[in-house]
Amino acid sequence: MKLATIQMVSGTSVQANLASARDLLQQAAAQGAELALLPEYFCIMGLKDTDKLAARETLGHGPIQDFLSHTAKTLGLWLVGGTLPLASQDPHRARNASLAFAPSGERVARYDKMHLFRFAQGQESYDESRVLEPGSEPVGFDLPSVDGQIYRIGMSVCYDLRFPELYRALNADVLLVPSAFTWTTGQAHWEVLLRARAIENLAYVVAAAQGGVHENRRRTWGHSMVVDPWGEIIGQRDEGAGLVMTDVSGARLREARGQLPALQHRML
């Protein structure tokens, strides 16, 4: 199964970000992608955290969700829309939700980010809980591939990467990690965490990132990558918008899991 891992440098305009995402997804489809993953906050990186609230949508309604559904159907892709802000019961906060769409345009899964990012170091500090409400349930879905395999896809978002128990609970073949890691935390921990999650779970890890300097002057780490079940990086992009095209192999999954049969995992 051919994957497109999409890296962006999203700005403050939702429409401009959707146009950029559309161009990259069209490139992915032209190169034969069956599954495409957009990064966290692909639709908006605001000047301030509360800008997310102005862009939030109710589930099933809104231009961002319409874009994802229409693009999946038009391009014939399985499409996971990084994250977008969805309305919650708290009028002052949103859910940071990752939505998966089938090639029919039907929404097949919704995952709300469970672990909210908090970080403080000198003048640099973040606290997503000021404007976001955490999710509570792990989510996965089955993807019947044209290669004849049914892959179990596990969903997660960014800061979730630091919580290995979530990934074990997903029991997946392919783990998705749309992200917007900061420059500081990314250079310290990004690669080692992604490779660890792949090794622990004998699964592919697909991480689509924001990567560059944004309009809000925040710098994200980038380095979108795909890691195979043995922990080897099989595709990576350092900074800037673009694609990482890789292949997922059911045979490679079976081989890696056969080499370490003592681990508990789902066999294809």
Q: Which two tokens stand for residue 196?
A: 């660890």
Instruction: List the beta bridge partners of residue 98.
Output: 111
152-183: pLDDT as tens digits: 999 999 999 999 999 999 999 999 999 999 99
Positions marked active-site: 40, 113, 158
Instruction: Give Cα separations from 12 to 41, 204, 215, 222, 236 (angstroms).
Output: 10, 32, 7, 18, 26
212-221: pLDDT as tens digits: 999 999 999 9
Instruction: Determine the average pLDDT of the residues in 117-146.
Output: 91
pLDDT for 267 beyond 90: no
Enter the pTM of the model. 0.96
57-100: pLDDT as tens digits: 999 999 999 999 999 999 999 999 999 999 999 999 999 999 99
Q: Which two tokens stand for residue 154?
A: 């596990």
Q: How many CB atoms within 10 Å of residue 231? A: 16
